[in-house]
Chain A
Amino acid sequence: QQQVKQSPQSLIVQKGGISIINCAYENTAFDYFPWYQQFPGKGPALLIAIRPDVSEKKEGRFTISFNKSAKQFSLHIMDSQPGDSATYFCAANSIIQGAQKLVFGQGTRLTINP
C-alpha cells in the first residue's frame, strides 16, 4: 500500500519561530521526497525535495531532514514569516515507466501569526 502520513493537520507558529511538519511512509521503493506549498486558489508548487541517500537538505530557510531507517522525513521552516502561511504537502515518488507518480500526504495548514 502506497501511503504517506503527514502531521500535524494544522499548525500555528509565531513570526520568527520554527515550523516543523512531519511525514512517514511505508513503501521502501519510494526514491524521491518533495515538499509542495499551496496557497488558497492555487496549484501546489514544488518547494524543496530530497533523495533517500541524503540525510538533510537546506535551501534558504527551508530544511528537509530525512531518516531512512525510520522511514520518516520532516520539513523545518526557520524564522517563519506570515508569507509562509499556506498548506504544505509532503509527497513520495515512485517511478513507473520512466516518469514519476507522486503520492501525497494529507497536508498541513500552516498559519504564521505576526
Chain B
Amino acid sequence: NAGVMQNPRHLVRRRGQEARLRCSPMKGHSHVYWYRQLPEEGLKFMVYLQKENIIDESGMPKERFSAEFPKEGPSILRIQQVVRGDSAAYFCASSPRTGGPGTEAFFGQGTRLTVV
C-alpha cells in the first residue's frame, strides 16, 4: 500500500512525557501537512512542511510542539511535556511536489494520542 503511513496508530502517554508521531508521505510526495482533530470537532491545520523546511506553522501551539521533515526518513510531530488537553487524533496528509489547484491531499489513518 503506497498510501500515507502514520505510526503509531494509538499512543498513550502520561502527563509530562513526550509524544512522537511519525508520518511517511505517499511515494513521490514531498509536501506534508499535520492536522489535529479533537473529539466531535473538525480538522485544525497545524503545520505544513517540505523536505527540511517548515513552510507554515501558523496552527502550531507556540510551546511544546515541534515538527520536522528531514531529508531522509519520515516527518515527525513532537509534543513535549504532554497534558490532558493534547489528547486528540493527529492526522498527516501529503501532496505532490508539483501541486497546484486541484491537487489532492491524501490523509493517513491518524495517530490517536491519549494522555493519562
Which residues on A are within 8 Å of B, measured CB to CB?
6, 31-32, 34, 36, 41-46, 49, 51, 89, 93, 95-107
Contact = CB atoms under 8 A, between A and B. Distances in A.
Interface residues of B, number: 31
A104 B104 CA distance: 14
Nearest to A101: B48
Contacts of B107: 36, 43-45
Contact of B45 (A41, A103, A107): A103
Contact of B91 (A32, A43, A49, A93): A43
Interface string B43-66: 111001010000110000000000
Contact of A101 (B56, B108, B110): B56
B103 A99 contact: yes
Given A44-B107, A101-B33, A95 B42 contact: no
Interface of B: 4, 31, 33, 35, 41-45, 48, 50, 55-56, 91, 93, 95-110
Contact of A102 (B33, B100, B101, B109): B33
Contact of B42 (A41, A49, A51, A89): A89
A95 B105 contact: no
Nearest to B30: A99
Given A99-B55, A101-B48, 13 more contacts: A32-B102, A46-B104, A95-B101, A96-B48, A98-B99, A98-B100, A99-B103, A100-B101, A101-B56, A102-B43, A102-B93, A104-B42, A104-B43
Nearest to A10: B40
Contacts of A44: 43, 91, 107
A110 B46 CA distance: 26
Most chain A CB neighbours (cut-off 10 Å) among B35, B98, B102:
B102
B102 A106 contact: no
Contact of A49 (B48, B56, B102, B106): B102
A65 B16 CA distance: 47
Contact of B99 (A36, A45, A100): A100
A64 to B, nearest CB: 13
20 contacts: A6-B42, A42-B110, A43-B91, A43-B108, A44-B43, A46-B104, A51-B102, A93-B101, A98-B99, A98-B100, A99-B31, A99-B55, A99-B95, A99-B103, A101-B45, A102-B93, A104-B35, A104-B44, A107-B41, A107-B43
